[in-house]
Amino acid sequence: MNNRELYERTDIINEQLARYGVKFGLYKNNQFKEQLFPFDAIPRVIPKMEFEILEKGLIQRVDALNLFLKDIYGDKKIIRDKIVPEDFIYASSGYLPQCEHIVPPQGIYSHISGIDLVKGKNGEWYILEDNLRVPSGASYPMIARELCRRCSPNTFQQAQLEDNRNYADMLKETMDAVNTGGINVILTPGRYNAAYFEHSYLAEKTGAHLANGSELEVENDYLYFVDYSGKKEKVGAVYRRISDEYLDPMSFHPESVIGIPHIFDVYRKGHVALLNAPGNGIADDKGIYYFVPKMIRYYLDQEPVLHNAPTYLPFYEDDCRFVLENFDRLVLKDVAEAGGYGVVFADKMTKQEKAQFLEMMKREPRRFIAQEVIDFEDLDILENGSAIPRKADLRAFVLTGKGTRVWKSGLTRFSRNPDSFIVNSSQGGGFKDTWVLSR
């Protein structure tokens, strides 16, 4: 397909994105800075049949993770059957004992899952991470596609691709599916949050109220939205975009000023749905990632459709030995970090850095995973009028309400550094639209 018109208008699209405030925020040296998330007009194109395989594997994975969360905060059969070690669970910073024996509305824990994948040069897709707490990024391809359509309508009249404008409808249907009676709210920590644009954009598109903690209050075991005039409306579902520890100062971090006192009590009593459920961090702990293929076999009695990157746990003696013997060809990840932080490539380390890291790994084996470096696919980006290859991943969005569905789009992030595999926006990356072909 000829997309020249679209490519020639890349600068116009980026100017429009800046005008709409499509930015992300970073805290650095105790200062808040906003910067643009650069858009590249060359889309990632996924053929229909290829996406169908991705769709099947992503649904399978998220269904298994939801079953794991229900089990780990309930009967803990997966521990008793020795599929996952008990001490491995309880050592995770993502495990919240406050969530024990709480079953959320409709038994759904991860309503919005952001699953990060890369496509190897061998044509196979690999799962890199499962993001089940507050995954962000859907708004960027949504608004980029909208602006691309305006700038180059001819491109989209010719292209046979899935329409990605249904994400807001999917999100609203997900909130409605678990709503306990009342309005839908998107809870934001405020405009200084890195993803504030997304919070406001999704609220506008879904018709949900955008609220901060000061606009929500608990009364008689129910949650209410209080508008500027003092009018109260009962809240049935909260798509919360703040971390567990700041959600409720009475149950978690006592110094939180962005949460809502006693909201966790309302949730515990089943009077409000929280999307995603508190305690999900245990399932997107990078160490737990190692066990997801076993979960699929254990809970669903199926073989995984999509595979993890080859991963090793220094927690296990055999894996630790493998890591020590093959250190220079591995990438090491701190299980509690996110956003591209805590990722180190062994072959880029100095001799002293290697010695220090190995000492730390031996001292804290639960803290790290090691993975083989996947030579993943390069995608062309436009730079100074020429197409040049850069590493890129894909964040797929999987929504679970009345059923589990995969959005036929996604956030493709790319590295602007030719020598880097790190694509996160916080590390200077850019993004592309993701075209899923309809035939």
pLDDT at 58: 98
- Placement of tokens 């997107």 in the chain: 284
Evaluated on CA atoms 341, 431, 292, 313, the torsion sign reads: negative
Question: pLDDT of 384-433, one tens digit each?
Answer: 888 999 999 999 999 999 999 999 999 999 987 766 666 555 556 799 99
Mean pLDDT confidence for 70-87: 96
The per-residue pLDDT for range 348-381, each reduced to its tens digit, is 899 999 999 999 998 999 999 999 988 888 999 9
Q: What is the predicted pLDDT for the residue at 393? A: 94
Mean pLDDT for the stretch of residues 4-15: 90
Reading the block at residue 407, the tokens are 């959005």
Q: Which is more confidently placed, 318 or 29? A: 318
DSSP state of 98: G
Query: Helix, strand, or coil here: 206?
Result: helix
CA-nearest of 368, 311, 291 to 335 is 368
What does the pLDDT read at residue 208?
A: 98
- Confidence class of residue 241 from pLDDT cuts 50, 70 and 90? very high
Query: Can you tell me the mean pLDDT for 275-301?
Result: 96
What's the mean per-residue pLDDT of the chain?
92
Tell me the pLDDT band of 96, cut-offs 50, 70 and 90: very high
pLDDT for the residue numbered 420? 60
Q: What pLDDT does 32 receive?
A: 63
Q: How many CB atoms lie within 10 A of CB 274?
A: 24
Residues 6+ apart with CB under 8 A from 279: 69, 73, 94, 95, 96, 98, 99, 102, 109, 244
Regarding pTM above 0.85, the answer is yes
Which amino acid, 438?
S
Tell me the percentage of the chain whose pLDDT exceeds 70: 94
For 70-122, strand residue ranges (E) read 112-119
Instruction: Read off the pLDDT of each residue in 292-297 and give the average, rounded to a whole number.
Output: 98
What is the pLDDT confidence band of residue 269, given thresholds at 50, 70 and 90?
Answer: very high
In this prediction, residue 343 carries a pLDDT of 86
Give the pLDDT of residue 421.
62
Q: Which of 18-22, 69-73, 303-307 has the lowest mean pLDDT?
A: 18-22
Q: What is the pLDDT of residue 300?
A: 98
Tell me how far apart the alpha carbons of residues 339 and 235 are, in angstroms, rounded to a whole number.
31
The two three-digit tokens of residue 319, written as one number: 């894996």
For residues 401 and 177, is the Cβ–Cβ distance under 8 A? yes
What are the pLDDT digits (tens) for 134-178? 999 999 999 999 999 999 998 888 889 999 999 999 999 999 999
Report whether pLDDT(25) > 70: no
pLDDT of residue 385: 81
For 23, phi and psi rounded to 5 degrees?
A: -135, 170
Q: What is the pLDDT of residues 177-213, one digit of tens each?
A: 999 999 999 999 998 788 889 999 999 999 999 999 9
Residues 221/258, Cβ–Cβ less than 8 Å? no
Most confident stretch, 33-37, 326-330, 375-379: 326-330
- Give the span between the Cα atoms of 212 and 369, in whole angstroms: 36
The length of the chain, given as a count of residues:
439
